[in-house]
Chains A and B, each alone.
Chain A
Amino acid sequence: MDQVVLARSLFGTTMAFHIIFATIGVGLPLMILIVEVLFQFTGDSDYALMAKRWTRGFAVLLGVAIPSGTIAGVQLSLLWPQFMKVVGKVIALPFQIEIFAFLLEALFMSIYVYAADRLSRGMRILSVVLVAFGAVMSAILITNVHAFEGTPTGFRIVGGEIVDIRPWKAFFNPSFAVSAGHVAVSAYMTGAFVIASLAAFKMLRRGLSDKHYAFHRKALMVGLVVGGLFSVLTALNGHASAQHLYDEQPEKLAAAEGLFVTQDHAPLTIGGFTDKETHEVKYGIEIPWALSFLANNRFDTVVKGLNEWPEDEWPPLFIHTLFNAMVGVGMLLLLMSIVGFWWHRLLKKQTFPRWMVWSFFVSGPLSMLGIEFGWIFSCTGRQPWILYRVMRTSEAVTHTGNLGTLFLLFTGVYLLLAISVVVVLRAYFKRHPLGDELGGSGDVNGEEEGLHV
């Protein structure tokens, strides 16, 4: 197979695997912080218990998140040496600062997990704040490099040499704010829905005592409310991201919308599959004028179609489907949280019908799928460039052979880890059921030896 395809497959698989844990790694600390704060305000020990149990799950997930992130970081240099040469000269800052964010998170994560019982209440909350801050900063800073790939600024290339380098200008490249915002709020959204999903899973069990049901319902509501808020923010930011594409990477927007002919009053096509031969989107629903309006708030906005560019600069056309899937997931999640909130808080119902709980249960996996779609859309949508209009992916790839074997090895390890992390988490929480800890003792810091990771 082609070296570029192999290298992209290997790196793509690493990212697809890592972002699951990275996203939870950003989202979960915020959830832990929220329940820690809720506990301080309400005095309801259920929230303290949630913080404790989620932290334990988080500690196990870190066992995969950290090494897979290390792989991603090192693999960049191994697979794309020519790209990293530019990165080192121009956009080294975010990588460097990310290390500090990562270090902050690692230090205070250990302090929060292993020293919680020796910390004052204020210090404990401060520790979680710093863990959450470190996690989101890591995500934002890595996204900074991703944003730079889409809108490279702060340097010029003259005769193959990189000159006029201005590192801070590269750092504050035009897509940074909008991309980083999107990653942060969508990670918070996903972390919240993962929690909602787990709570719903528990609530599906029949014959649950009222106390248990109430515990899980509280967790579900925290997940739905936080998830709902952040899905609104994600949608607003997503709209800004699309308008940003209109300005900065018009061919990506054209491919995302399956638009071939440049036009004003451009229609928005929802769903369907882009056909390369006939230059149309099959089985999609067209909304007249809508794309022009979405792109720049006016119906007479001229939106560029793919025909403006030579075909070897087109992004892959399937990104239209990915883009729609991502948006669809976001909308669905928003709907779910509205329904849940309305049912419990406005209609004051204490129990949920099973079909509703089932839908909450799928919200977590669905949200994660949305993240995956979004990342694949964003990265494949930039192809064939690794640095938009500066360096092609094929110019950056390593010449070292046998990538196929490495691909199999890494994929095998990811599969092994994915299976074992689920097995380990399930076994752990089975041995430490909620029943042992709920109500009664109030000894939140008990059985420290239970988890030493």
Chain B
Amino acid sequence: MKTSPLIPLLFLLGLGACSVSKTSSGGSKNTIQVSIDLQNVDADRVRVKVVPPRQKSGTVAYRFPKIIPGTYAIADYGRYVDDIKAFNKDGSELKTSRPDSNTVVIENARQLAYLSYLVNDTFDNEEDSDPFSEKSKTIFSPAGTNIDAGKYFLLNMAGFVGYFTDQLEKPYRITIAHPEALYGTTAMVDRDDAARTDVFNLSRYPEVVDHPVMYAPADTAAFRVNDMQVLLGVYSRRGKTHASDLRPDLEKMIRAQKRFLGPINDTQKYAVLAYISSGADDDAKGIGALEHNTSTSAVFREPMKSKDLIHVISHEFFHTIAPLKVHSKEIQYFDFNNPKMSQHLWFYEGVTEYFSNLFQVNQGLIDDHAFYDLMAQKMEASRNYNDKLSFTEMSRNILDSKMKAQYPNVYQKGALIAMCLDIVIREQTQGQRGLLWLMGELSKKYGADKPFDDAELIPTITQIAGDEAGKFLVSHVQNGERIVYADFLAKVGLKKQVVPFPEPIVFVTQDVAYIKTDSSNTQVMASVPDDANQFYQNLGIKDNDIFLEFNGIPVNPKDANSIIYLGYDLDEGSPITVKVNRAGQDMELKGTVKLNYDDADSFRFGDTGKKDLNEAWLKK
């Protein structure tokens, strides 16, 4: 492993390359040995060699996943694998066939000595469509792979390593030869001292898929929160953002998450793999993250702020509870090529998303009004989806192309379901217990290696949390009855109120876009037909000003829309410098961000009789 300036620190933390005793399973005859060559990249493709244990049957299939856990969409990783060949020990090729893109069938498998193939990356092959649209076949970038010879590699293992049918439980030993200048960020432990080789041992195929690695020039930060080690690795194609910039906010947040969760979380090591896309046409477009049990692979876009990392990790880290600690058999015994989906996406994604908001008010990172507004925004957003659909039906059929479009609602209505359940439990226990307590009870009953039957989850919750909780889940999650959120929020003293919400993009207010392009379509200019845009008024931006830079980041004239990101999710009152060209003259407009606001529905506390329950809900 590459010696980076961080190595001394990593040693202290026990994350160092050689600090862990070498209890290798590498010698076992039963092990599938994989070598991945990141040093000799062949036309943007990486050579992989797989040495299997002796095969006992005449033919055997080697398969790449059709889908991996956490994505809820068909990926077909085999599409990116070329030139796959099987050889005997003398180096003669064995007969193979490829019945579908994910599968290669090897004849005379008893003679099989090794397989060899080339892997293409998925970032280069992303289509223009939204990955969650009905027809899209694009792999969501955080679940994808990237090969940029000598500079950067993202190894989501499903793209590089397959499994032999019925041999998912066999151990793997993965050897990665990488350029010396690149450092591997992963939650796995490297079993090799060499500067250009990393060796990872994994107990079974699902573990392989669960452990991504990112190779990039060393740009990492490491810290410890109680018993947990956290490693952050960052790669920015434009080199604008560094781990050291993101670390303080990340640490603050993870500390708050750990305090919120208490003993329910016992993660030992957590790695954050952050890739920052340039936003160019050939770069990653799927902005977001994919959870793994001990890490997260995340894709951001320039300009990236620590706030963006917080948005993503606050969600992903709570996945260490669901599905890691509590999940169904569909997840435990995940079928990578013929998956059966669990009915309980509301539970895995909804509860996770709800906690990622609740912990912020619970730990004082935001105030109660901000929390109510976050929930109100979810109510508004959920109205774009089918509100009368049974969530269990939707989950079970989420791979159906017709159902796919409903998926994003798991972050909206899914989180609101969790909120209502939390309120029901608080009400029933006079504020003593809530959803986090229920998750703790469920993780005691089940656990990382003890899955539940899909059909028993709601009855079990009813048993633990009471009839009211059960009734709520049956009518609103199973039967798809609409939830009147105001009724549930009234239990904790909230009343409907119209309040001003900041508009997300400073260039658009009241549905009017305050930008335009010049006649040659090469410059983005301010369009100021009126004085309603407060951001513009405050900085003195005038009609026809040509935008050149935002806080030092140039506006890319080739991609006029990239300006949207420069004006997206800014903080009220934060310093800003906008460089414009006005009538041929460059000038800097300095000041602070003044956002535009638009009225929308939210909730405010207004029933003093419910004060105790409200406080128990938000603060306990």
Decide if A and B are genuine partners.
no
Interface residues of B (CB under 8 A from A): none
